Structure 1
Amino acid sequence: MRHTFDRHTLDGAAVRAALLDLIVQLGLLLRGRGQAARALTLCLRFAGGTSWERTRRLAKPSAHEDDLRQLAYQLMDAAGLQRGRLTGLVLRGEDLVDADQVAEQISLDGARESRWSPSRPPTGSEPSSATAPSARPPSSAAPPEPRQPAWRRGCCSTRPACCRHI
Structure 2
Amino acid sequence: MRAVGSGPEAVAAFLHPRPVGELHGIGPAQERTLMTYGVHTIGLLANLPEATVQRVLGRKAGRLLSERARGIDRRRVVPAELPHSAAAQRRFPTDTLAPELVRSALLSLAVELGERLRRRRQAAKAVTLTVTFVDRTQIHRSRQLPGGPSAHTDDLRDASYDMYRALGLQRARLRAVALRCEQLVDAAAVAEQLSFDADREHRLRAEQAIDALNARFGSGTVGPAANYPRAG
**TM-score in terms of structure 2 length:** 0.51
Q: Tell me whether 1:13 sits opposite 2:100 in the alignment.
A: yes
Structure 1 or 2: larger helix share? Answer: 2
Please give the per-residue CA displacement for 1:24-49, whole angstroms capped at 9, x wherever unaligned.
11111110110000000000000011
Distance (whole Å) between structure 1 residues aligned to residue 124 and residue 91 of structure 2:
23
TM superposition shift of 1:67 = 1.4
AA partner of residue 113 (structure 1): E
**TM-score in terms of structure 1 length:** 0.70
SS of the residue 1:61 aligns to: coil
Matched residue, 1:88: 176
SS of the residue 1:81 aligns to: coil
Matched residue, 2:134: 47
Contact residue 129 and residue 160 of structure 2 kept, 8 A: yes
TM superposition shift of 1:109 = 2.6
Q: Tell me whether 1:102 sits opposite 2:193 in the alignment.
A: no
TM superposition shift of 1:19 = 0.7
TM superposition shift of 1:22 = 0.6
Large movers: runs of 4+ above 4 Å: none
Q: What does 1:1-166 align with in structure 2 at a 5 Å threshold?
A: 1-59=88-146, 60-117=148-205, 118=208, 119-122=210-213
SS of the residue 1:62 aligns to: coil
Contact residue 126 and residue 145 of structure 2 kept, 8 A: yes
Distance (whole Å) between structure 2 residues aligned to residue 12 and residue 70 of structure 1:
15
Please give the per-residue CA displacement for 1:110-146, whole angstroms capped at 9, x wherever unaligned.
321121121223578xxxxxxxxxxxxxxxxxxxxxx
Indicate the percent of aligned positions where both proteins have the same amino acid: 47
Distance (whole Å) between structure 2 residues aligned to residue 61 and residue 21 of structure 1:
20
Distance (whole Å) between structure 2 residues aligned to residue 93 and residue 105 of structure 1:
20
**Structure 1 vs Structure 2 CA RMSD:** 1.5
TM superposition shift of 1:65 = 1.5
TM superposition shift of 1:79 = 1.4
Matched residue, 2:82: none
SS of the residue 1:116 aligns to: helix
Instruction: Say which structure, 1 or 2, has more relative contact order (CA 8 Å, 6+ apart).
Output: 1
AA partner of residue 80 (structure 1): G
Distance (whole Å) between structure 1 residues aligned to residue 177 and residue 130 of structure 2:
6
Matched residue, 1:160: none
Distance (whole Å) between structure 1 residues aligned to residue 126 and residue 150 of structure 2:
9
Structure 1 or 2: larger strand share? Answer: 1
> How many residues in Structure 1 have an aligned counterpart in Structure 2?
124
